[in-house]
């Protein structure tokens, strides 16, 4: 039977921005399902939310394991009959964080094939193919929302502007994966423009997590705000956009 409550699936929600996103959605009365590749840390996240009075669930979801896409489909189909919110949050960097990347002397000409392919796999291909699997369930929602957690490091506008804060950050593989993710956002939003589903890219801010590094000025809680805003857009909200909070970012 179709659940009345809104159901959200957040990938990579066992820690960092994803965990805080699950918490904020839970506080809004939305049921968060935590995707985590590690069972122990997924279950621990559910327990932490429970201690804050938030009911949630966990499913094992490794973005590089296609069997997990099918298992996720089956879980949401059987338990809820739909999926209202998909937050493609899990992400990797094999080039350090923005500050440490400055020590990278050959970021483009010397990036290893493995680092580039593995980054594209996790941050781009996995998002495309897992979203394809889950999309039929999002179509069953009366207000489907897909949030692709990108970065200003995916903005070609900003990366090519010498006055921008990200100009010169040497994370070629990571940046390219987020640029590709932004392309997915634009193309999928276009395909779905006559449906109730909205698809947007977001930049969470520069956030103090393992990926963002210790010099980052913002907390994971801050970082969750934009994901939550776009996950809970009203029917007349935007689709096919790129946002930090309610500000538009140039592609």
CA angle in degrees (0–180, nearest 5) for 62-130-34: 50
Instruction: Report the distance separating Cα 126 and Cα 99, nearest Å.
Output: 27
Q: To 5 degrees, how large is the angle CA 149–CA 214–CA 9?
A: 25
CB of 196 to ligand NAP, least distance (A): 25
The Cα–Cα gap between 200 and 55 comes to 27
Helices (H), the chain: 16-27, 39-51, 66-79, 113-120, 126-139, 156-159, 172-191, 220-231
At 142, list the tokens.
Answer: 């009366």
The answer to the question of residue 107 lying near ligand NAP (CB under 6 A) is no
Q: What six digits make up the tokens of 155? A: 């903005």
Which range in 9-17, 26-34, 106-114, 138-146 contacts ligand NAP by CB under 6 A? 9-17
CB of 112 to ligand NAP, least distance (A): 18
Q: Using CB under 6 A, which of the segments 34-42, 73-81, 133-141, 241-249 binds ligand NAP? A: 34-42
Window 53-92: contact mask with ligand NAP (x via CB under 6 A): --------xxxx------------------------xxxx
Distance from C-alpha of 162 to C-alpha of 159, rounded to nearest angstrom: 8
Number of residues that bind ligand NAP (CB under 6 A): 30
> From the CB of 209, what's the least distance to ligand NAP, in Å?
3
Report residue 200 CA to chain centroid gap. Answer: 10
Q: Does 230 bind ligand NAP (CB under 6 A)?
A: no
The contact mask relative to ligand NAP for 232-251 (x = CB under 6 A, - = no) is: --------------------
Per CB under 6 A, contacts with ligand NAP among 132-191 are: 149, 151
Which residues would be at the binding site for ligand NAP (CB under 6 A)? 11-12, 14-18, 37-38, 41, 61-64, 89-92, 122, 149, 151, 203-204, 206-207, 209-212, 216
């Amino acid at each position: 039977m179709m659940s009345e409550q809104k159901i959200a699936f957040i990938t990579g929600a066992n820690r960092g921005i994803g965990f805080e996103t699950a918490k904020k959605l839970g506080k809004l009365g939305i049921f968060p399902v935590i995707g985590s590749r590690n069972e122990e840390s997924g279950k621990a996240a559910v327990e932490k939310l429970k201690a804050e009075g938030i009911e949630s669930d966990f499913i094992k979801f490794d973005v590089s394991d296609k069997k997990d896409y099918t298992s996720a489909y089956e879980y949401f189909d059987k338990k809820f009959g739909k999926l209202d919110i998909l937050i493609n949050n899990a992400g990797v960097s094999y080039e350090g964080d923005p500050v440490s990347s400055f020590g990278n002397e050959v970021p483009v000409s010397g990036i290893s094939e493995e680092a580039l392919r593995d980054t594209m796999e996790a941050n781009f291909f996995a998002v495309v193919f897992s979203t394809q699997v889950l999309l039929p369930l999002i179509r069953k929602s009366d207000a489907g929302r897909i949030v692709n957690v990108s970065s200003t490091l995916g903005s070609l506008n900003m990366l090519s502007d010498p006055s921008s804060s990200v100009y010169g950050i040497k994370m070629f593989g990571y940046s390219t994966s987020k640029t590709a993710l932004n392309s997915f956002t634009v193309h999928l939003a276009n395909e779905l423009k006559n449906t109730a589903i909205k698809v947007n890219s977001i930049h969470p801010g520069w956030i103090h997590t393992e990926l963002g590094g210790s010099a980052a000025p913002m907390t994971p809680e801050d970082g969750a705000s934009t994901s939550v805003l776009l996950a809970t857009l009203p029917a007349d909200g935007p689709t096919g956009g790129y946002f930090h909070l309610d500000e538009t970012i140039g592609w």
